[in-house]
A and B are shown apart, each in its own frame.
Chain A
Amino acid sequence: MEEKSLSHQLSKKYVQARLVSELIGNALWLIVLLILFWMYHFFEWPRWVFWILIGLSALSLLGIVWSFLEPYYVYRNWRYHLDEDYLQLSYGILTKTWITIPTAKIQAVTTIQGPILKRYRLRSVKVETIGSSYTIPGLDEDVALSLRKEIAQWAKIKDTEAL
């Protein structure tokens, strides 16, 4: 599994897009934390609440530091490969996962685009199989659309009738 890596990567722009979305998330969370601290002060909540809030802040600090690093690692570890017969995915920063799905078993393909991805002209591709679903997070728009088309094509040709 380690020797070869799959052919395709996410879009380089995905790192930035993810960074922006993490920043927004962090900002929102910080506001929530500040409100909690203010409420603690204002409503004179018991002392232990303060310590819990301090603990939460420490954890969030770690989370924030990580959120600056994560996008790059996600990008570096995500790989996929599609051919006529199989869709292969590999991802995971600490624990690595490889997945092999026969295209014939794919039941639905969707492209997804939120406001941030739109800003960067990216799309995610979601693939659903009988029991699970996987999302390739950030691909250039044209790549994503042609991938969707290709998957749909292979999936349709094979799966004439499912039991």
Chain B
Amino acid sequence: MRYHPFTILFRIVQLVKNSFVIALVLFVFRRDSQFWLFEYGRYLFLLYIAMRIVHIVVSWFFETYEWKENRYLILNKGILVRKTSTVPLHKIQNVTQKTTLFHKVVGCTSLVLETSMDGEDDEIKFDVISTEQARLITQLVQQAEQAAVEQAPLSDQEQDGEHMVLQEKTERAAEKERVVHFKPTKRSLWKASFTSLSFLAIIPVAASLYDNLSPFLSDWRFENILPMLSETWGIVLVATVAIPVALVFGVIRTFIRYGNYEISSTDTHIYIKRGFLEESSFAIDKRKVQGIEIKQTVLKRLFGLAEVKLVSSARSASRENAVSVNSLYPFLPQQEAIQLVQALLPQYFFEWEMNRLPKKSLWIKLLRPSWLWLVVTAGLVYFQPTFFHLDQAWWLLSLVLLVIVVLNRILDYVNTRYGVVGDQVQWWRGGLTSRLFITKRKNIVEVEYNQSPLQKGFRLISVKTKHRSNPLSIEGVDDVPVQFATAFDKWYQQRERRCEGDGACPK
């Protein structure tokens, strides 16, 4: 099957977009330049564009895709050198659908299928595809995943899965029904636009704007602007114009990004839809969720907000978009975050009764040398720089840093909680930013314990669990009593024996 004919148009538009700046330089700004680079550059550029266009058009006739037995996707590429690749549908980890403005105009959409493979074929892109086709392919992928699970003998990954499979079979009919779990309200969006500090995002935007325009603004050199800011009228200008502009910018940015947000799920998948002008939707297989992370920065904690992230074995698709896909929604009210997770992944629960670190952990945390502080202080002692016309600033700075380091460690001690409940582990740690990580025993691929001589003296140890993700995710807690680690290892080693044979795993 050929790709959608609008693919040609899409690629040409992309080409124009990408080469626009170069064209502008070659044919507008440096129109009269006799410099050889521009002279020949113009011809080379035209040649390149012509070749690309020919290539785009010709390759459309040669590139095809098809599926076989509803299980394999076969892609044919190349004009002179033909290349055929076969991708088993159940190896596809993520399906991302994105509808940009272009797609909206032509009434189509785009689809990216991500596989767990490495290298060239790690993702399959449909630049333009009709909405029906996109839906069909998404469905095929999900069916293939389903079939793979049912056929495969219980692999180590899916001991718990067995239980789910049985459920799935009985609830086949209900499975296709999507339940919408979350849509942000206006009020929460306002909150989000301030806690995210998104108004600061105007700085890089302004900087890149300045960078692009600076050739034409010879008088507005940065060195000339800076002294203006120290004048009174400069400050007034900043306060009355720049700050409101930044705030409005931040609010608009947040609304565009999260305004149309929607989290929904079926029995097997979680769907995230977002975007205002450019829609993108993302589906993740629940079985591929390896753990849940609930993260709070200081600011979010003040506002009672939290970010929920899913650690998944699927490759992260965060290349293009700044908003990473594994984040469910960064500005959820704490309570709602917990409810959402429980609705999406019912096998996870929250147990608030967790172990706290013993007193001696605080001592060890404080005793440990801070390399950051040592290096910075050494640098400060050596250079003895002056800030704000203060001769003594260097040791003040070092002191401030020390206070921050110590405070962070004390907070880390206070915040750290850890525990094992049934087949679930919970690590909660962090100083200024706190992170609660929850996972199941079957999702731990490896456990590592480390004990430094200092820890040995205190009979403490660090525990690390590793999880299948891309890159490998490593979680854990530091300075827990050795007894806990011993018990933890015993707990970890129980998993397989009890899970084997009888399909029912301990919940």
Contact = CB atoms under 8 A, between A and B. Distances in A.
B119 interface: no
A159 B497 CA distance: 15
A80 interface: no
Interface string A122-141: 00000001111000000000
Contacts of A100: 446-448, 489, 492-493
A97 interface: yes
A160 B155 contact: yes
Interface residues of B, number: 35
Interface stretch (B194-202, B345-353, B464-472): B464-472
A86 B313 CA distance: 22
A93 to B, nearest CB: 10
Contact of B157 (A1, A85, A86, A163): A163
A123 B405 CA distance: 46
Interface string A90-105: 0010111111111011
B446 A99 contact: yes
B448 A97 contact: yes
A3 B486 contact: yes
Contact of B446 (A1, A95, A96, A105): A105
A100 B492 CA distance: 9
Contacts of A31: none
Contact of B313 (A2, A85, A158, A163): A163
Nearest to B313: A163
Nearest to B452: A95
Interface residues of A, number: 27
Name the residue in B148, B313, B446, B486 with the highest tally of chain A Cβ atoms < 10 Å from its Cβ: B446
B486 A1 contact: yes
Given A97-B450, A104-B496, A131-B471, A1 B156 contact: no
A1 B453 contact: no
B71 interface: no
A65 interface: no
A128 to B, nearest CB: 11
Contact of B445 (A85, A94, A96, A105): A105
B100 interface: no
B445 A160 contact: no
Interface string B422-458: 0000000000000000000000011111111100100
Contact of B156 (A2, A97, A99, A159): A159
B141 to A, nearest CB: 14
A73 to B, nearest CB: 13
Contact of A101 (B152, B446, B471): B446
Nearest to B466: A131
B288 interface: yes
B485 interface: yes
A3 B459 CA distance: 12
B153 interface: yes
B287 interface: yes
B155 A162 contact: yes
A85 B456 CA distance: 29
A159 B451 contact: no
B461 interface: yes
A88 to B, nearest CB: 9
Given A102-B496, A162-B155, A130 B472 contact: yes
A44 interface: no
Contacts of B471: 131
B486 A161 contact: no
A160 B152 CA distance: 8
Contact of A94 (B452, B472, B482): B452
B116 interface: yes
Contacts of B492: 100
Contacts of B158: 163
Given A130-B468, A130-B472, A131-B471, A161 B152 contact: yes
Interface of B: 116, 148, 152-153, 155-158, 287-288, 313, 445-453, 456, 461, 466, 468, 471-472, 482, 485-486, 489, 492-493, 495-497
18 contacts: A1-B461, A3-B486, A85-B493, A85-B497, A86-B493, A100-B448, A102-B445, A102-B496, A105-B445, A129-B446, A130-B445, A131-B468, A131-B471, A131-B472, A132-B472, A161-B153, A162-B155, A163-B157
Given A2-B456, A85-B497, 18 more contacts: A1-B449, A1-B461, A85-B496, A94-B452, A95-B452, A96-B449, A96-B450, A100-B446, A100-B448, A100-B493, A129-B445, A130-B446, A131-B468, A132-B446, A159-B156, A160-B155, A163-B116, A163-B158
Q: Which 3 residue pairs of A and B lie closest in terms of their CB atoms, listed nearest first?
A: A131-B472, A104-B156, A98-B449
